[in-house]
Amino acid sequence: DGYTERSTEYRFECDPMAGYGEPLAVYGDCEFVVRWRTALACPIHPSVFLPILFWVGFVIGLYLTIRFFHNILVTKMLLGWEAVPHIQEIRYMGALILMISEKLWEALSKVAPGAATKIGAWWERVVGGRLKSAGGYTSTEDAHVGGRDR
């Protein structure tokens, strides 16, 4: 400072094994250096999961969009859900996800009936009924009837 001509310097050093660590003071004549080895000084490595998930979703969405317009403009398909590439697989996956969700719901109802009732009441308020896929399938219906789509 300007009055005593003394100073204090803190040096935080990364040590992943130190936990919070402890300060270790090193004295000098007019300056004090405090060395502190701590895990909190180590750089944070961001997760790569969310960026990868974003780019995978982006690439799949871009592919579906390009192929949708290709089906309409080049192959002259009618504008509608059937022009979406792999629509049958997407419908099947939707029905499969609904079926798995229903099985998980049944398991939750058996394990924790009170929680299932509360979640069910919340779901009714928010959604207002059973969820159906774009093809009109509920989780209890099969997406394929007689070897062909409905």
Residue-wise pLDDT for 2-22, tens only, equals 677 778 888 899 988 888 888
Residues 114-147 have pLDDT tens digits of 776 777 777 777 776 555 544 554 444 444 444 4
Rounded Cα–Cα distance for residues 5 and 42 (Å)? 32
User: Token pair of 25, please?
Assistant: 């003071």
User: Token pair of 84, please?
Assistant: 């979406």
Rounded Cα–Cα distance for residues 85 and 83 (Å)? 6
Distances (CA, A) of 94 to 4, 61, 86, 147: 73, 16, 12, 18
Residues 77-90 have pLDDT tens digits of 998 889 999 999 99
